[in-house]
Amino acid sequence: MSQLPQQPTPAPVPTSADVARLAGVSRATVSYVLNNNTTMRISEATRRRVKEAARDLGYVPHAAARSLRAGRTRTVLLPVGAVPEAPPHQQVVSELQAGLRRLDYTVVQYGSGGLAPDEAARAWAELRPVAVVVPPALSLTPYGRAVLTRSGARAVITLGAQPVDGAHALVMDQREVGACAVRHLLARGCRRIGVVAPADTVMAPSAAPRLEGARRAAERAGAHVEPLPLRYDEDDAAELARHWRRRALDAVFTCNDEYAMLLLRAFQDAGVEVPGEVALVGADDLMLGRLLRPRLTTVRAEIAPAQPLAELIDALVTRPGGPPEHHDLLRARVVPRESG
């Protein structure tokens, strides 16, 4: 079609007025037709003319103008931080997106890396979202919550481990994963448990709470938990394995199966026997755990389906009010195999 190189003055963007002019009707009529507004009766002939004109011009309505006029949006904002979230969260986002789309919301992920929490909240509020879902890696202050509410957000939801004053919380508490692993190891008689906490940025968001959960579960039973910082790096793992015996630990929980594999390999190279000398438990139930020898015992975090979450958001939007609710989206379960 338009083979011409772009003009220095680009063709103006067609508006509903242009459509009206081309179809020989008023802007009001254009609006009625294109929105299938049934309260007004428009003749079939006019309908056709308007639609044709819109198509010919390549007319697309201006979302900002529309929502400005309407006084509200159907935008659900999902801020995203600089580093990607843990996989279970990704899955929630993906399902949530689909569920909200079905309910006719517009889901927008908004890059907010590098902003201070309150700045970020203001930036989100500028978009006048009807709901905001804050991921675990980003923080929302009570002030931020207030700004969003005052700017018209009918649902403010956090997905982190700890709820924010006044916001609804859908807790994905990764601490339960660590706690679950430790309880399993305690049941098997382990008393001195190392927890591999990656220093890595990518893994950090889920690792820190998992370590925390492990620690608390151990404390409650009077057992010992020792944090083992480890880079995702063969040399670092070999180093850890080399001086293993002097730590006198009888079990390790790695916050992730991939770290478990790394450590398992290092143990094997160093002659430390798994599970004989040390029990090993990973997390996330990745396929690779099944392929290792010994097969890897792991903790699987199961996420509640996100469709109800989408419906909760919709309910909050249509009927706001009621006290903040807290739900737990995550349930942890041990998948026992051979390593521990």
Residue 335 found at the interface with a second copy (CB under 8 A): no
Q: CA 42: distance to chain centroid? A: 45
Residue 291 found at the interface with a second copy (CB under 8 A): yes
Question: How many Å apart are CA 138 and CA 149, to the nearest integer?
Answer: 18
Smallest separation (angstroms) from a second copy to the CB of 143: 8
Task: Catalog residues that contact DNA under the rule CB under 7 A.
Answer: 13, 15-17, 24-32, 34-35, 37, 40-43, 45-46, 59, 61-62, 65-66, 68-71
**Count of residues that interact with a second copy, criterion CB under 8 A:** 63
Residues near 122 by Cβ (< 8 Å), separated by ≥ 6? 144, 147
Smallest separation (angstroms) from a second copy to the CB of 43: 26
> What does the block give as tokens for 89?
């969260």
- The correct pick among 103, 108, 270, 304 for binding a second copy (CB under 8 A) is 108
Residue 137 CB: number of other CB atoms within 10 A?
20
- The correct pick among 34, 47, 74, 151 for binding a second copy (CB under 8 A) is 151
Smallest separation (angstroms) from DNA to the CB of 75: 15
- The correct pick among 21, 34, 42, 84 for binding a second copy (CB under 8 A) is 84
Please tell me what DSSP assigns to residue 226. Answer: E
Tokens 């670092």 belong to residue: 236
Residue 170, contacted partner among a second copy, DNA, none, CB below 5-8 A by kind: none
> What does the block give as tokens for 50?
């308007």
The span of 30-38, 182-190, 259-267, 274-282 binding a second copy (CB under 8 A) equals: 259-267
- The correct pick among 34, 42, 80, 315 for binding a second copy (CB under 8 A) is 80
Nearer to a second copy, 11 or 40 (CB): 11
Smallest separation (angstroms) from DNA to the CB of 19: 8
Long-range Cβ pairs for the range 201-206 (8 Å, 24+): 201/83, 202/83, 202/84, 203/232, 203/255, 203/256, 203/259, 204/83, 205/83, 205/85, 205/86, 205/136, 205/137, 206/86, 206/88, 206/136, 206/174, 206/177, 206/255, 206/256
Residue of 255, 309, 302, 245 whose CA lies nearest to 277: 245
Nearer to a second copy, 101 or 220 (CB): 101
Smallest separation (angstroms) from a second copy to the CB of 211: 21
Residue 2 found at the interface with a second copy (CB under 8 A): yes
- The correct pick among 217, 262, 280, 281 for binding a second copy (CB under 8 A) is 262
Nearer to a second copy, 12 or 222 (CB): 12
Long-range Cβ pairs for the range 262-266 (8 Å, 24+): 262/230, 262/232, 262/233, 262/234, 262/237, 263/196, 263/230, 263/237, 264/292, 264/296, 264/339, 265/234, 265/237, 266/234, 266/237, 266/238, 266/240, 266/241
Smallest separation (angstroms) from a second copy to the CB of 292: 9
Sheet of 330-335, strands arranged across: 224-230, 192-198, 251-254, 279-283, 297-303, 330-335
Nearer to DNA, 72 or 293 (CB): 72
3-state secondary structure of 331: strand
Residue 127 found at the interface with a second copy (CB under 8 A): yes
Residues between 215 and 254 that touch a second copy (CB under 8 A): 232, 234
Q: Site residues (CB under 8 A) for a second copy?
A: 1-2, 5-6, 8, 10-11, 13-14, 58, 60-65, 67-68, 73, 80, 82-84, 90, 94, 97-98, 101, 106-111, 113-114, 122, 125-128, 142, 146-147, 149-152, 154, 232, 234, 258, 261-262, 265, 287-288, 290-291, 320-323
